[in-house]
């Protein structure tokens, strides 16, 4: 049986833009692009790639916690990065720090801009809850 479970952080942007943070369909969780929003929905750390990446992954953890999932169950991620060549090393280090020995498939896309001034990274993902936690 397929079940659907929708998760929101409860931030204004969800209503403003008409989306949810994640949706579970069966055993997969599809995670919307996460970014450096605090719990009130305010964008943080303009132009600071490392701090944005850290807060973005913390938002992933909030979603994973909701579903009882872990980082080890993330099977795919797409990183959208303004200034990809400039931040490639920091992106690699942050990715290794977040995932440890786990290795999801990953795509990094260099882009010219994101939603907020000073936003340099956004990450979407797919989580497979059938994998070991």
Matching residue, tokens 């059938």: 130
pTM of the model: 0.94
Low-confidence ranges of the chain (pLDDT < 70): 1-3
pLDDT on residue 70: 98
- Express each pLDDT in 7-23 by its tens digit: 999 988 899 989 999 99
Residues near 65 by Cβ (< 8 Å), separated by ≥ 6? none
Please state which CATH class domain 4-128 belongs to. alpha beta
pLDDT at 2: 52
Decide if 9 contacts 39 (C-beta within 8 A): yes
- The residue extents of the domains of the chain are 4-128
**What is the per-residue burial (b if ≥16 Cβ within 10 Å, else e) of 11-29?**
bebeeeeeeebbbbeeebb
The reported pLDDT for the residue numbered 124 is 98
* Distance (Å, whole) CA 29 – CA 127: 5
Residue-level pLDDT at 1:
38
pLDDT at 13: 85
């Amino acid at each position: 049986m397929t079940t659907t479970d929708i998760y929101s952080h409860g931030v204004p942007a969800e209503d403003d833009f008409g989306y949810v943070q994640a949706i579970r369909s069966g055993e997969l969780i599809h995670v919307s692009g996460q970014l450096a929003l605090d719990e009130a929905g305010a964008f943080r750390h303009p132009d600071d790639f490392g701090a944005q990446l850290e807060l973005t992954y913390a938002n992933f953890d909030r979603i994973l916690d909701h579903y009882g999932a872990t980082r080890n169950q993330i099977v795919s991620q797409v990183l959208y990065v303004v200034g990809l060549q400039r931040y490639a090393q920091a992106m690699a280090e942050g990715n290794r720090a977040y995932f440890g020995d786990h290795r999801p498939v990953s795509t990094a896309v260099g882009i010219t801009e994101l939603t907020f001034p000073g936003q340099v990274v956004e990450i979407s993902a797919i989580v497979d809850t059938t994998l070991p936690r």
